[in-house]
Amino acid sequence: MRSERDTENSAPILITTGEPAGIGPELVVQVLQHSFEFPLAVVGDAELLLHRAKLLGVDLICSDDKLVGPGGTATLNHVSMATPSVPGKPDSRNADYVIEMLNNAYESCRSGESAAIVTGPVQKSVIREAGHDFVGHTEFFAEKARVKTPVMMLVNDKLRVALATSHLPLLEVASALTQVHLESVLRVINGSLQDRFGIAKPAIGVCGLNPHAGESGHLGKEENEVIEPVLGRLIAEGIILEGPLPADAAFRKTIYSKFDVIVAMYHDQGLPVVKHHGDGFSVNVTLGLPFIRTSVDHGTALDIAGTGRAKIESLVAAMKFAETMSYGKN
């Protein structure tokens, strides 16, 4: 991270509004009711945002390429929906709109027009139903940037948890967890903590895949055949690693507090713990990209879309985290 804050005349933090039928648009509308110390930009449909503001009974004006709320002004990168959106009822006809928003955000960040991307939640199933081979934001931006090993990490004020594999069915995790892949993941994590987080010598705790970290090979071979050889090679290079740790023990405070990050082997090994600790304030960060991307730690919440019950804490946390990574802090 940069050591000084420098937001004057800086490129903005860019927010994508996500699935139009979800809570993403209203979260953006609510964010614009508040003031922030850094410039903002929004990618989305102007009419959608104005409609959602009216539905919530809050103030929002769209003027030229600006969104103006009581808290301040955001630049608008307008992308048109294919069809009007009804809160809580996603429509696959708007899948192309969601993809176009993400392409717009990527190009804006790649060109330097934006300092970072903060993504609102999308409905992956709807995008896939429309014919897009979409797994998630992490994989989408990695493919655009031609990054082979993006790493998903969730962060809150208590711990950081990174994933060795992310959006995979559980049945496919073991076969995806090769020595080559795990070594690449650990190198990305170590380098990102140094370059993006300013941690000179990160301490990395690595979970095992199987119960009790394989119980010396009696409950699985991945610890002996994959994880331990990789850790041995990287430790010999001077990277600070410990593992494989039994996952049920690794997330006790006395254990995780020793490390700068805990690496879980699969999605639901690590994320339930970090989300529990974060209590709505966790931030999803993609490591390994040539730009900064953060996200909320929740989904589209279709059941409460348009009701005004959605909370902005996770989005605000993602914005502030992107700000810190982009501009630094005093």
pLDDT tens digits for range 29-42: 999 999 999 999 99
What is the C-alpha to C-alpha distance for residues 324 and 262, in angstroms, rounded to an integer? 21
Say if residue 136 is in the same domain as residue 39: yes
- The two tokens of residue 265 are 């082997």
- Do the strands 292-295 and 283-287 form a parallel or antiparallel pair, or are they unpaired? antiparallel
328 pLDDT exceeds 80?
Answer: no
Please compute the mean of the pLDDT values over residues 256-276 and round it to a whole number: 95
Please compute the mean of the pLDDT values over residues 104-111 and round it to a whole number: 97
Half-sphere exposure of 256 (CA within 13 A, CB side): 25
Say if residue 6 is in the same domain as residue 142: yes
Which residue's structure tokens are 């290079």? 237
Say if residue 22 is in the same domain as residue 37: yes
Amino acid (1-letter code) at residue 175: S
Amino acid (1-letter code) at residue 31: V
What is the C-alpha to C-alpha distance for residues 223 and 211, in angstroms, rounded to an integer? 10
Q: Report the mean per-residue pLDDT for the chain.
A: 94
* Other CB atoms within 10 A of residue 304 CB: 16
Residues above pLDDT 90, as percent of the chain: 89
Say if residue 173 is in the same domain as residue 104: no
Render pLDDT for 138-170 as a digit per residue (tens, 0 to 9): 999 999 999 999 999 999 988 999 999 998 999
Render pLDDT for 109-134 as a digit per residue (tens, 0 to 9): 999 999 999 999 999 999 999 999 99
- The two tokens of residue 135 are 């797994």
Q: What is the pTM of this model?
A: 0.90
Say if residue 79 is in the same domain as residue 171: no
Residue 270, phi then psi, degrees to nearest 5: -110, -35
Look at residue 7 in the predicted model and tell me its pLDDT: 53
Please compute the mean of the pLDDT values over residues 182-209 and round it to a whole number: 97
Look at residue 66 in the predicted model and tell me its pLDDT: 95
Say if residue 257 is in the same domain as residue 206: yes
Render pLDDT for 217-233 as a digit per residue (tens, 0 to 9): 999 999 999 999 999 99
Give the torsion through C-alpha atoms of 204, 210, 211, 213, to 10 deg: -40
- The two tokens of residue 270 are 């690590």
Least confident of 7-11, 60-64, 92-96, 101-105: 7-11
H helices of 196-292, where? 222, 228-236, 247-250, 253-256, 267-278
Look at residue 8 in the predicted model and tell me its pLDDT: 54
Instruction: Give me the residues paired with residue 89 across strands.
Output: 86
Q: Where are the beta strands (DSSP E) in the chain?
A: 13-16, 40-44, 61-63, 66-69, 72-78, 116-119, 151-155, 160-163, 203-207, 240-245, 261-264, 283-287, 292-295
Domain range spanning residue 176? 149-285
Say if residue 110 is in the same domain as residue 125: yes
Q: How many residues does the chain have?
A: 330
Say if residue 115 is in the same domain as residue 156: no
Least confident of 4-18, 56-70, 94-108, 110-124: 4-18
Which residue's structure tokens are 């970290």? 213
Q: What share of the chain is helix, strand, coil (3-state, %, to 5)?
A: 40, 20, 40
- Do the strands 116-119 and 151-155 form a parallel or antiparallel pair, or are they unpaired? unpaired
Say if residue 40 is in the same domain as residue 121: yes
Number of domains forming the structure of the chain: 2
Higher pLDDT, 203 or 158: 203
Say if residue 111 is in the same domain as residue 127: yes
Look at residue 257 in the predicted model and tell me its pLDDT: 94
Look at residue 261 in the predicted model and tell me its pLDDT: 98
Identify the H or E element spanning 151.
Answer: strand 151-155
Give the torsion through C-alpha atoms of 116, 298, 257, 211, to 10 deg: -130
Amino acid (1-letter code) at residue 252: R
Say if residue 247 is in the same domain as residue 298: no
What is the C-alpha to C-alpha distance for residues 113 and 208, in angstroms, rounded to an integer? 41
Please compute the mean of the pLDDT values over residues 85-109 and round it to a whole number: 98
Look at residue 2 in the predicted model and tell me its pLDDT: 37
Contact between residue 48 and residue 26 where contact means Cβ atoms under 8 Å apart: no
83 pLDDT exceeds 90?
Answer: yes
Residue 121, phi then psi, degrees to nearest 5: -70, 145
Look at residue 278 in the predicted model and tell me its pLDDT: 72
Please compute the mean of the pLDDT values over residues 43-52 and round it to a whole number: 97
Please compute the mean of the pLDDT values over residues 84-100 and round it to a whole number: 97
Say if residue 157 is in the same domain as residue 37: no
- What CATH number did the domain enclosing 167 receive? 3.40.718.10
